[in-house]
Amino acid sequence: MNQDQQEMTSLHCIEVSAEGDRVWVNGHDGSCIGRFSKRFGIDVHRTVAEQIEGADQCLYCTHEPAGIAEWEDFREAMRRHHGIDVPANSIAF
């Protein structure tokens, strides 16, 4: 990864629902690259730019209710695939 790519991947936004039960992570291009929901599970995706270039969407997706262990899986997947450290206290259990 070159320096421009490293700088771009560091630009992201983490949003939390008012209820504290869902988290969205938006990447440098504005696309949603991560979602965690206690009710609907985990979605870790490639950016839209990568998908336009032919890559598959899902990197790690579960689509089933999620708890504390799955929250840690989500956080690890976001670090591994996107280099983003989602704070552990972003969601309430």
pTM of the predicted protein model: 0.85
In a domain, 1, yes or no: no
Is residue 4's pLDDT more than 80?
no
In a domain, 2, yes or no: no
Per-residue CA distances from 25 to 2, 34, 75, 90 (Å): 23, 5, 11, 11
Is residue 3's pLDDT more than 90?
no
Q: Which of 25, 27, 36, 26 is nearest to 8 (CA)?
A: 27
Q: What is the predicted pLDDT for the residue at 10?
A: 66
What range does the domain containing 60 cover?
9-90
In a domain, 46, yes or no: yes
**Each residue of 10-26: pLDDT tens digit?**
689 999 999 999 999 99
Average model confidence (pLDDT) across the chain: 90
Q: What is the predicted pLDDT for the residue at 82?
A: 95
In a domain, 79, yes or no: yes
In a domain, 69, yes or no: yes
Report d(CA 37, CA 21) in Å as an integer: 6
In a domain, 3, yes or no: no
In a domain, 32, yes or no: yes
| Number of structural domains the chain divides into | 1
Bin 87: left if φ > 0, else alpha if -120 < ψ < 50, else beta.
beta
